[in-house]
């Protein structure tokens, strides 16, 4: 992008019913944000380069254009009252350009912190939050020393653009440095010491325009093939640990000056000294592990996000029931008829036309 815009200051505006919220990204998260906005009387305009975006089906307006298309971004910004995003890899230049015209919530800072694993780890460490020990890796020659310092096994991860286990490989005794470097796409990386966790969990919370916060109950997450398969709430942990997770999430959101929903993925480690949390990564957005809130809580993560970015009061989330969220991945979604007929099951489908292996097609919340 040619022009280097300076990030604008958020003017603190509140979006009244009838106003338009712009959403960058047209996947299922954007779709569910748009549905929640509609319920509150807000219109949405979704901006996404993919002409086949699931969120387009449920929003008043959409733009198909690249995130680098300045003219399209300016037109989009002129037609909305605030902009939010459904993914953390929005280019910084895009968010900066938009923020000079219209409030972007969450802001550019949330993107800076979460787009680069090295920046993210240092940020968390700077807050005194426990993270896996790590070393920056700029080439295969760095691996031997880093592995010696951290011990094996260790996890090599690209600094940028990794998700669902992509851009990631495990190093074990006798590893081949050149092969590992190639496996992650030969890009700047970090090596992380292996965390011997008992379970993976996440804290999803909202921070409002006034700085108020409201956390959902901690979610316990189970992955298969690096993709979230199931989320169970309540999570199997001591109440003090759950409270610590919520406090950690609030600390991160406050430090970023976040507005909107934010998620911190965590490892729970159990050892002789009890339970402790290790932060893995920050998602400055609504999150798959928060989908249970749609059916088992008094406010969903999507509505809470809309409330926050629109400058509305946050709701106080209350969980009604124990719940298990299962992702419908690839061909799983073909069982829609059986799931729809299952007592206690709440089916959510994303309207994606093409079923592909590993593609998130929908999810089901089962109240327990
Ligand atoms: P990430 O892309 O960082 O979310 O990592 C994907 C998955 O890899 C996590 O959900 C964990 O199951 C596993 N993993 C990542 N980093 C570590 C680590 N340092 N120690 C142990 N397991 C890890």
- Quote the pLDDT of residue 1: 53
* CATH code, 199-367: 3.30.470.20
Distance CA(16)–CA(28), nearest Å, equals 25
141 Cα distance to chain centroid: 32
Distance CA(25)–CA(67), nearest Å, equals 10
What does the pLDDT look like over 244-285, one tens digit per residue? 999 999 999 999 999 999 999 999 999 999 999 999 999 999
Q: ∠ at Cα 263 (224, 113), nearest 5°?
A: 110
Distance CA(206)–CA(215), nearest Å, equals 6
- Quote the pLDDT of residue 163: 66
Stretch(es) of the chain classified as CATH 3.30.1490.20: 133-193
Q: Under a CB-based contact definition with an 8 Å cutoff, are residues 47 and 91 in contact?
A: no
54 CA → ligand 1 middle, Å: 28
Cβ count near 162 (within 10 Å): 17
224 CA → ligand 1 middle, Å: 12
353 CA → ligand 1 middle, Å: 31
> Whose structure tokens read 């979610």?
219
Q: Return the residue whose CA atom lies nearest to atom 6 of ligand 1.
A: 165
Res 2 pLDDT > 50: no
Q: Pairing mode, if any, of strands 43-47 and 20-24?
A: parallel
What does the pLDDT look like over 104-122, one tens digit per residue? 999 999 999 999 999 999 9
**Residue from 151, 153, 155, 263 whose mutation best tests the ligand 1 pocket (most atoms within 8 A of CB):** 155
**Residue from 280, 283, 287 whose mutation best tests the ligand 1 pocket (most atoms within 8 A of CB):** 280
Percent of the chain with pLDDT over 70: 98
- pTM (2 d.p.): 0.96
Residue 280 in contact with ligand 1 by CB distance below 6 A: yes
Query: Which residues have a Cβ under 8 Å from the Cβ of 94 and sit 6 or more positions away?
Result: 1, 24, 67, 68, 73
> Whose structure tokens read 């919530």?
105
Give the pLDDT mean for 228-247.
Answer: 98
Residue 168 in contact with ligand 1 by CB distance below 6 A: yes
Q: Under a CB-based contact definition with an 8 Å cutoff, are residues 120 and 113 in contact?
A: yes
Structure tokens at 84: 């939010």
Q: Under a CB-based contact definition with an 8 Å cutoff, are residues 283 and 260 in contact?
A: no
Helices (H), the chain: 28-39, 70-78, 92-99, 108-115, 117-126, 143-150, 177-183, 239-256, 293-296, 301-310, 336-340
What DSSP state is assigned to residue 10? P
Q: ∠ at Cα 118 (117, 124), nearest 5°?
A: 85
Residue 192 in contact with ligand 1 by CB distance below 6 A: yes
What does the pLDDT look like over 292-332, one tens digit per residue? 999 999 999 999 999 999 999 999 999 999 999 999 999 99
Q: Which CATH number fits domain 133-193: 3.90.1150.10, 3.40.50.720, 3.40.50.970, 3.30.1490.20?
A: 3.30.1490.20
Coil, helix or strand at residue 163: coil
Structure tokens at 125: 């460490």
Stretch(es) of the chain classified as CATH 3.30.470.20: 199-367
Q: What is the dihedral of CA 25, 29, 30, 31, to 10 degrees?
A: 130
51 Cα distance to chain centroid: 23
The average confidence (pLDDT) of the chain is: 96
What does the pLDDT look like over 7-52, one tens digit per residue? 788 999 999 999 999 999 999 999 999 999 999 999 999 999 999 9
117 CA → ligand 1 middle, Å: 12
What DSSP state is assigned to residue 343? T
Residue 365 in contact with ligand 1 by CB distance below 6 A: no
Q: Which CATH number fits domain 20-104: 3.40.50.300, 3.10.20.30, 3.40.50.20, 3.40.140.10?
A: 3.40.50.20
**pLDDT: is 175 or 1 the higher one?**
175
What DSSP state is assigned to residue 195? P
What does the pLDDT look like over 41-73, one tens digit per residue? 999 999 999 999 999 999 999 999 999 999 999
Stretch(es) of the chain classified as CATH 3.40.50.20: 20-104
Q: Pairing mode, if any, of strands 345-349 and 323-329?
A: unpaired
pLDDT band at 164 (very low <50, low <70, confident <90, very high): low
- Quote the pLDDT of residue 3: 43
313 CA → ligand 1 middle, Å: 35
CA distances (Å), origin 344, targets 70, 318, 365: 47, 19, 8
Q: Pairing mode, if any, of strands 227-233 and 323-329?
A: antiparallel
Residue 120 in contact with ligand 1 by CB distance below 6 A: no
């Amino acid at each position: 992008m040619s022009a280097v815009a300076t990030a604008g200051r958020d003017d603190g505006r509140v979006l009244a019913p009838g106003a338009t919220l712009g959403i960058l990204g047209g996947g299922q998260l954007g779709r569910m944000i748009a549905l929640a906005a509609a319920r509150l009387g807000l219109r949405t305009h979704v901006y996404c380069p993919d002409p086949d975006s699931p969120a387009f089906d449920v929003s008043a307006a959409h733009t198909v254009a690249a995130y680098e298309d300045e003219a399209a971004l300016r037109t989009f910004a002129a037609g909305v009252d605030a902009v939010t995003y459904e993914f953390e890899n929005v280019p910084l230049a895009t968010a900066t350009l938009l923020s000079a015209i219209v409030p972007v919530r969450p802001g550019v800072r949330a993107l800076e912190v979460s787009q680069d694993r090295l920046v993210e780890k240092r940020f968390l460490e700077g807050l005194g939050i426990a993270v896996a020990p790590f070393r920056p890796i700029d080439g295969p020659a760095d691996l031997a020393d880093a592995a010696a310092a951290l011990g094996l096994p260790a996890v090599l991860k690209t600094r940028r653009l990794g998700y669902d286990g992509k851009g990631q490989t495990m190093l074990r005794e006798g590893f081949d440095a050149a092969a590992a470097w190639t496996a992650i796409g030969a890009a700047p990386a970090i090596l992380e010491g292996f965390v011997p966790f008992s379970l993976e969990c996440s804290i999803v919370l909202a921070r409002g325009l006034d700085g108020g916060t409201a956390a959902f109950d901690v979610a316990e997450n189970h992955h298969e093939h690096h993709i979230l398969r199931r989320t169970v709430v309540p999570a199997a942990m001591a109440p003090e640990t759950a409270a610590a997770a919520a406090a950690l999430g609030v600390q991160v959101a406050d430090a970023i000056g976040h507005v909107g929903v934010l998620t911190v993925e965590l490892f729970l480690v159990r050892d002789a000294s009890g339970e402790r949390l290790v932060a893995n990564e920050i998602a400055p957005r609504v999150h798959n592990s928060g989908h249970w809130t749609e059916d088992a809580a008094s406010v969903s993560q999507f509505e809470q996000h809309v409330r926050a970015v629109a400058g509305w009061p946050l709701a106080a989330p209350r969980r009604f029931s124990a719940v298990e969220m299962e992702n419908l991945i690839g061909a799983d979604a073909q069982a829609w008829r059986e799931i729809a007929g299952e007592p206690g099951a709440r089916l959510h489908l994303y309207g994606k036309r093409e079923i592909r292996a590993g593609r998130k097609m929908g999810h089901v919340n089962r109240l327990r």
